[in-house]
């Protein structure tokens, strides 16, 4: 298939584009490089630098694509609280513009990068897709709004769409990994500390009702995530919008993640205890039973040390090019 990948210079988009290319698809990446890196675009992809509302729309309407994988988004939770306008415009308005282009061009398939943030603070764990959606920040709310828009486009215009709601993505694949100027994810932050790019890693909350008092999260390997996108694309159904959670189904605490990083790097990593952050649930674990039953998807890389080792190898390979926020 000929596929357009928006945000394909970012971490998740770049790895997914690489897997699609290795599976024999023709891939075009569009990215404005506002948060992504040109180095993150797979060598086998055609790269067009630009915004999805201009360059992306022009590509959709001038070339015949079999599908679009939409990763381009604003994705910092804290920033979304401080600058909600950036998220409503950057995520919702821009995606609406893209959806209109897909409708005009008759593009048949869409896979959308959604998020577990749509669930907010869950009432049950593991979290199924039937759980109430109650996002606690504009980032999650903007992604949920897009899900609703996609449903209406599928119903009205025959679009075959899938939304994949990720939990915590980590690891690396094909020489591609996390390399962001503003890093918020735990595993790369711990590994940056191990490299000396940070003085310490903060453990936000030590009094949660968990085994060691720190918050528990579900970590999914980036390769497993990419495989889910390939399956979702291949199994799209005209006129139907399907939604799936993607996670390993296993939870690891912040302290367990730090310990895994210490095992991989071979030396202690300094951590400091800090107060809880507002709105951080104690436990977030996905139920991916629906994805397994409907897509035939099963994560193959659930070992935390393997996930960390892949991320560590990538980060070390960057050398002085690695981003750090001191």
With pLDDT > 90 as the criterion, what percentage of the chain qualifies?
90
User: pLDDT by residue (tens digit) across 211-242?
Assistant: 999 999 999 999 999 999 999 999 999 999 99
Average pLDDT over every residue of 67-89: 95
Any idea what DSSP says for residue 297? -
DSSP secondary structure string for all residues of 14-67: HHHHHHHHHTT-EEEEEE--SSS-GGGS-TTSEEEES-IIIIIHHHHHHS--SE
- Entry pTM: 0.94
pLDDT digits (tens, 9 = 90+) for 291-303: 999 999 999 999 9
CB-based contact 59:110 (threshold 8 Å): no
Residue 105 is encoded by which pair of tokens?
């061009």
Burial degree of 13 (CB within 10 A; 0-12, 13-18, 19+): buried
H-helix or E-strand spanning residue 101 = helix 94-105
Report the pLDDT value the prediction gives residue 181, as an integer from 0 to 100.
Answer: 79
CA-nearest of 171, 169, 151, 170 to 161 is 151
Is residue 320 very low, low, confident or very high in pLDDT (cuts 50, 70, 90)? very low
Active-site pick, 139, 166, 173, 208: 139
Which residues, at least 6 apart from 57, have a Cβ–Cβ distance to it below 8 Å? Answer: 97, 98, 101
**Strands, sheet with 2-6, edge to edge from the N-terminal-most edge strand:** 46-49, 26-31, 2-6, 67-70, 109-115, 160-166, 241-246
Can 87 be counted among the known catalytic residues?
no
What pLDDT sits at residue 182? 84
């Amino acid at each position: 298939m000929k596929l357009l990948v928006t945000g394909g210079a970012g971490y998740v988009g770049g790895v997914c584009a690489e897997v699609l290319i290795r599976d024999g698809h023709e891939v075009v990446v569009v990215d404005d490089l506002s948060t992504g890196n040109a180095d993150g675009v797979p060598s086998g992809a055609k790269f067009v630098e630009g915004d999805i509302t201009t360059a992306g729309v022009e590509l959709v309407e001038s070339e015949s694509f079999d599908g679009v994988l939409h990763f381009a988004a604003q994705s910092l939770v804290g920033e979304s609280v401080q600058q909600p306008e950036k998220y409503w415009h950057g995520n919702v308005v821009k995606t609406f513009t893209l959806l209109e282009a897909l409708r005009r061009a008759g593009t048949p398939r869409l896979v959308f990068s959604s998020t577990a943030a749509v669930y907010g603070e869950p009432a049950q764990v593991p979290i199924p897709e039937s759980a109430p959606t109650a996002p606690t920040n504009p980032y999650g709310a903007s992604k949920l709004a897009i899900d609703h828009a996609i449903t209406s486009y599928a119903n009205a215009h025959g679009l075959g769409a899938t939304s994949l709601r990720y939990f915590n993505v980590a690891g690396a694949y094909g020489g591609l990994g996390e390399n962001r100027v503003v890093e918020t994810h735990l595993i790369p932050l711990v590994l940056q500390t191990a490299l000396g790019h940070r003085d310490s890693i903060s453990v936000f909350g030590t009094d949660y009702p968990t085994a060691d008092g720190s918050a528990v999260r579900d970590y999914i390997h980036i390769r497993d995530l990419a495989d889910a996108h390939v399956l979702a694309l291949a199994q799209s159904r005209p006129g139907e919008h399907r939604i799936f959670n993607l996670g390993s189904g296993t939870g690891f605490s912040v302290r367990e993640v730090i310990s895994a990083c210490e095992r991989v790097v071979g030396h202690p990593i300094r951590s400091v205890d800090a107060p809880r952050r507002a709105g951080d649930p104690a436990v977030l674990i996905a139920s991916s039973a629906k994805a397994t039953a409907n897509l035939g998807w099963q994560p193959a890389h659930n070992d935390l040390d393997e996930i960390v080792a892949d991320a560590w190898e990538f980060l070390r390979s960057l050398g002085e090019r690695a981003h750090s926020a001191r």
